Amino acid sequence: MVNTQLPRPFLRGEVARRPATRRKSWRGGGEGFSRRAGETPHPRSARPLPLKRGEVSSVKVFLLAFWCSFVSCATALAGSPPKLIVIVVGDQIRADYLERYHDALEPGGLRRFRDQGMYFTHALMDHAVTKTSPGHVLIGSGVSPAQSGIVGNDWYDASLGHAVSAAELVPGGRRVQLRWFVGSSLAQRIHASRPQSRVISLSLKDRGALLLTGPDQDGAYWWDSDKQDFVNYSSIPPPWLVQFNRQIRSFARQHKKWNALTGVTSKQARDFAETAKLTKGHIKDRWGLGRKFPHPVPSIKALMNSPFSDDIVEQLAETAVREWHLGQNPSGDPDVLTVSFSAVDLVGHEYGPDSREVMDAFLRLDRAVGKLIRSLEQQVGPDIIWVFSSDHGVTSFPEVSRARGLPAGRVRFNKAAISPEGLVEAVSPPFIYMNEAVLRGQPQKRAQAVAQVRDGLQRMEGVDKVYTVIDVEGRQAPRVILRSFYLPKAGEVKRCGDLMVILKPYYIFSEDDYGTTHGQPTPDDQRVPLGFYGSGIKRSLHEEPVSPAMVAPTLLKLLDIPASDLAAPAAIF
């Protein structure tokens, strides 16, 4: 079952509804930000209104985009124009974490978005391949995989005979250039109109740093696991980065054990114990972190796969803001910083979303975000707009789902299992690439082979639907599939293969019996948090469905930069 509709609301409570008054916004201009003449601030109503369960379940994302653009889901913005825009992405933060662990969050961390900012309880990744790279591109640049060509974290390139990475760089040039990104990125759009604005990105993961604002960033920093250092786009790291890397060694010596940050309720303790029992044989322990608290952290590799890596990335963000003087641009233009925190994703793949380890990693992310907010407000002042979202959710361990009475399982997805006859050249979930050496120049045989592979896949347990390129070209597929499938332009090599496999909810692609994953158009993988907080943003809580694709148009609107060519035209405010 492909999730083409938005999920049912899972929250009751305060809902901000259609404002009775016209919105007000800042507009950038040649002389910096100024209010448009004749506009006066209209604080929006955010009084509690009950929402009937299921009320918005049939509303589709595009209708919401339409709705937003006309009635404005937005709050009025008041106060000073921003000096800095910060996009914070928590990798693999499922939307329900903020609710589930709300009471354990600290007041100055993620709760600011949920309780003091503009927060959307029903944000949904509206593409099918819910993975890190397409998710970051959607949040940062507002474009789907079909538009950006970033169809996964990697994909098979038949002309090269191997997989390529979405984060592959093109060396040279003053600003970051990426090999596979098609079209316009957020950084390119900003620089086209405001060349003095600095766009700086950082993350533990290369794709987390490079893909959020895309090509044309002024600076990008990420962890190179081979070099065991943070690196940048240029091959020559700045002295401050060299110094930062030195400090990691002493940080590692001080963090040899990962203890749980907080206590848990007796119900949580029972649930976590049950999860631990069910997942026991399915945790690979690749990094030596062990299977239970207190977890040893025996190496730098283990450190970087533990929640402590978020503390390091937070520290790197503070340092980068200081070194770049972000938020103090002499031109008066606002700067942009993006920070993608990876630890919950790494812990989530290993221990699963129902584990105490993920709760702890999430709470530590919360503390790291709180520290970053406090530090940047100290460095830059209050004129900062913050965005918080996630690139995707995650599916529970199938073993946990089955214990809850849900149909669930691990789908083995390899060439031999899919086509023992050798009709398949490569597999890169969810895509399958036919064997061109056998089929080239034989259209009839090729069509038969595709049909044979498709029919075989559809008989596999856990497979919901299989789409072919022909389905996509003929637009005989749901929108969420069409948005995920990049059709090559003349001279380009195909990226999405010949078939795309969609699993049923609670099933995962799994070549071994370890861990869990995401990457499907199911509510668990698609639903993410989305919040705005900071300068001029009024508190409001929204249950209407939105796509994180609206972040980029919203930020561009704030900066008075045209975004008319974006497929997701609606700015949130």
Residue nearest to Zn ion (CB): 132
| 130-138, 370-378, 496-504, 542-550 -> range binding Zn ion (CB under 5 A) | 130-138
Least spacing, CB of residue 367 vs Zn ion, in Å: 20
- Asked if 91 is part of the footprint of Zn ion (rule: CB under 5 A), the reply reads yes
Task: Give, as one character, the DSSP assignment of residue 534.
Answer: E
Residue 203 binds Zn ion (CB under 5 A): no
First to last CA, the chain: 33
| Shortest CB 304 distance to Zn ion, Å | 15
* Region from 156-164, 389-397, 436-444, 454-462 binding Zn ion, contact rule CB under 5 A: 389-397
Q: Give the nearest distance from C-beta 92 to Zn ion in angstroms.
A: 5
Q: Nearest to residue 10, comparing CAs of 474, 523, 411?
A: 523
Q: Containing H/E element for 410?
A: strand 409-411
Contact between 206 and Zn ion by CB under 5 A: the answer reads no
Distance between CA atoms of residues 97 and 101, nearest Å? 6
Question: Cα dist. 204→15, 111, 119, 454 in Å?
Answer: 35, 23, 26, 38
- The dihedrals phi and psi of 455, each to the nearest 5 degrees, come to -65, -40
Residue 98 or residue 541: which is nearer to Zn ion going by CB?
A: 98
Is residue 510 involved in binding Zn ion (CB under 5 A)? no
Reference 384, options 83, 112, 78, 32; nearest CA is 83
Strand partners, 527: 124
CB of 91 to Zn ion, least distance (A): 4
Pairing label, strands 162-165, 424-428:
unpaired
- Tell me the window of 3-11, 84-92, 100-108, 331-339 that interacts with Zn ion (CB under 5 A): 84-92
Q: Which stretch binds Zn ion (CB under 5 A): 22-30, 88-96, 325-333, 422-430?
A: 88-96
Q: Which stretch binds Zn ion (CB under 5 A): 173-181, 341-349, 371-379, 496-504?
A: 341-349
Give the nearer residue to Zn ion in terms of CB position, either 188 or 395: 395
Count of residues engaged in binding Zn ion, rule: CB under 5 A: 4
CB of 159 to Zn ion, least distance (A): 27
Tokens 């299992």 found at: 417
Q: How far is the CB of 284 from Zn ion (least distance, A)?
A: 18
CB of 349 to Zn ion, least distance (A): 9
Among 25, 130, 132, 305, binds Zn ion (CB under 5 A): 132
Burial 37-46 (b: 16+ CB within 10 A, else e): eeeeeeebeb
Q: Is 11 helix (H, G, I), strand (E, B) or coil?
A: coil
Burial of 361 (0-12, 13-18, 19+ CB in 10 A): buried
Asked if 345 is part of the footprint of Zn ion (rule: CB under 5 A), the reply reads: yes
Q: CA–CA distance from 461 to each of 413, 418, 455, 464, 504 (Å)? A: 11, 12, 12, 9, 9
Site membership for Zn ion, residue 391 (CB under 5 A): yes
Which residues bind to Zn ion, rule: CB under 5 A? 91, 132, 345, 391
